[in-house]
Structure 1
Amino acid sequence: MRAAARIRVERRHGRDEVVDRTAEPPFAVRRCGDRIMLAATAASPVGGDELELDVVIGSEATASIGSIGAMLVWPAPTPAVSSMTTTVAVGAGGRLVLAPEPTITVRGSNHRATTRVDLAEEATCELVEEYSLGRSGEAPGTIETSLRVERGGRALFHHDELLGALAEAGSTSVGVGTARHVTTALIVGEVAGDAATSVEAGGMAARLPVDDDAVVLLGVGIDRPTVRRLIDALRSTVAPPVRYG
């Protein structure tokens, strides 16, 4: 199955207006108060599915996008790989908060998640990607992630990772050890502050400045609450915690 969704927000007459929210099943797009929410209308992606999300935030516009529930990645009878490709463009003076619920790799699944973000010079954003490696008590599937953010045509951040079953099997990926939850948060538009780390039983996180006004927060741990707590503690010295979901 191939399916796509598109969200476009423009600043018109002093208001942020959703001028396009086209969606094909299994996607649905809803306006919920001051947020735009993605919902799933069917179990997807299954191995072989190709899903695409295109987000455009116009100049001076602001949008907060989340999801109603986690995305479960399901295996197929064949070894086919499923994919989710997210493409984002934010115009000058625009701001985007993109923080969906986690992607969960069901045992036996094989998934590729690719996010490409193009920021204008004066655009800002908060991007959160979360991956849960298997359901509770379940071995993980495999997920290959790629997040690249450019500002004004120049690379600001690029990170690729292989997580889950293939990484555990001895791939060239560094991997995350026994961690079951992985979070990457990129904040652009706030004073980055200094590099820092935080470690507690069951998890660890790091704050990595990538520019004067851009910082990456990376966290791994035994579960989502542990990782979120570590990420929020490091983030609190930069800006208020992001609104997940």
Structure 2
Amino acid sequence: MKAQGSMVVAGGDGTRKSTLRSAHSEPPFSIRQCGERILVAASAAAPVGGDELSLNIAVLAGARADIGTVAATLALPGPTGAPSAMSMQCTIGMDAHLDWIGEPTVSVVGSDHTITTVVDLDETATCRVVEEVSLGRSGEPSGRLQLVLRVRRAGRPLVHHAEEFGPNVAGAGSVVSTGGARHLLSEVLVGVDASESRVSMSPTCRAAWLPVAADAVVILAVGADRPSVRSAVADLRRGPV
């Protein structure tokens, strides 16, 4: 299956901080404004091996877009063993802001999935982009999963981060990868006080705050489960004690 979704977000009308000006969605995408947020729901099972999906988001000048997904996404194997792919392209205009906070993608055993996220910011735009993945369902190993994240500001690279996971990937389960952790989170913040790098360590989770510019940070966290990862990230965001 090949499918596309797209949306254009404009400034608020006095009652909302952002308004969905236009949207186009082919199954499995379903795009709706729900109060202050814009949500992407799945109207069909996807991605399945062989699927090629793409989502394009344009946030116009001055708008503040709060966008997310309704539920977790299962990356499923297909009958032929073909890989699947999901790409998201975000363009953020002058003085605009994007919050993208998606629910986790679960890499199901036997799947081979690639997620590519590209964010293009105007010189004065800001963003918060959060992506989470779970490596396998409960009691199962994961499939193969590739993650690619690129953030550019005024055409210049700010972040380019790529990772690959799966039981057959070199170094899987070692300290150079996830160290056996099953839940991962990456977050990019642009328009914040980056301060200095710092880490959060516990028996169930490891997280790092990594400045990439004076006003931009990458947060990376791996842990046993989603609650422990989110708790560690919340500690990092509060700053040193």
Length-normalised TM-score, structure 1: 0.92
Residues 73-126 of structure 1: per-residue CA shift (max 9 Å, x gap): 000122211000000000010000001100000110000000011000000000
Q: Percent identity?
A: 45
Aligned-CA RMSD value: 1.8
What does residue 157 of structure 1 align with?
A: 159
Rounded to whole Å, the distance in 1 between the matches of 2:41 and 2:191 is 28
Give the Å deviation of 1:18. 1.1
Distance 2:181 2:169 in 1: 12
The 3 A distance-change label for structure 1 pair 90 and 77 is same
2:33 to 28, 31, 34: 31
Q: Distance in 1 between matches of 2:12 and 2:78?
A: 45
Give the 3-state SS of the residue equivalent to 1:233 in structure 2: helix
3-state SS in 2 of match to 1:165: coil
Query: What secondary structure, in the 3-state scheme, does the structure 1 residue paired with 2:168 have?
Result: helix
**Residue 90 of structure 2: which of 75, 88, 91 is its match?**
88
1:166 partnered with 2:168: yes
Deviation of 1:177 after TM superposition, in Å, equals 2.0
Q: 1-side partners of 2:95 and 2:172: how far apart? A: 44
Aligned to 1:44, the other structure's residue is in SS state coil
* Unpaired stretches in structure 1, ≥5 consecutive residues: 239-245
Give the ranges of 4+ consecutive aligned residues of structure 1 lying more than 6 Å apart after TM superposition. Answer: none
Displacement of 1:228 after TM fit? 0.7
Q: Amino acid of the residue matched to residue 20 of structure 1?
A: S
Q: Is this contact kept in 1: 2:88–2:116, CA < 8 A? A: yes
Residue 218 of structure 2 corresponds to residue 224 of structure 1: no
Q: Distance in 1 between the 2:239 and 2:3 partners?
A: 40
Shift of 1:181: 0.6
Contact 1:130 1:182 in 2 (8 A): yes
Q: C-alpha offsets along residues 189-237 of structure 1, whole Å, 9 cap, x if unaligned?
A: 1101110001101110000000011111100011111111111110123
1:243 — aligned with what? Answer: none
3-state SS in 1 of match to 2:81: coil
Structure 1 partner of 2:3:
3
- 1:5-24 mapped onto 2 (5 Å cutoff): 5-11=5-11, 16-24=18-26
**How many matched pairs?**
237
2:134 pairs with one of 128, 132, 138 = 132
Residues 1-245 of structure 1: pairs in structure 2 closer than 5 A: 1-11=1-11, 16-167=18-169, 174-237=176-239
AA aligned opposite 1:196: R
Question: 1 CA distance for matches of 2:187 and 2:75?
Answer: 21
> Which secondary structure state, in structure 1, belongs to the residue aligned with residue 230 of structure 2?
helix
User: How far is 1:21 from its partner?
Assistant: 1.5
Q: Alpha-carbon deviation of 1:164?
A: 1.9
Distance 1:75 1:169 in 2: 23
In structure 2, runs of 5+ residues without a counterpart are: none
Counterpart-to-counterpart distance in 2, 1:116 and 1:203: 27
**CA–CA separation in structure 2 for the residues paired with 1:101 and 1:139:** 20
- What TM-score do you get using the length of structure 2 for normalisation? 0.94
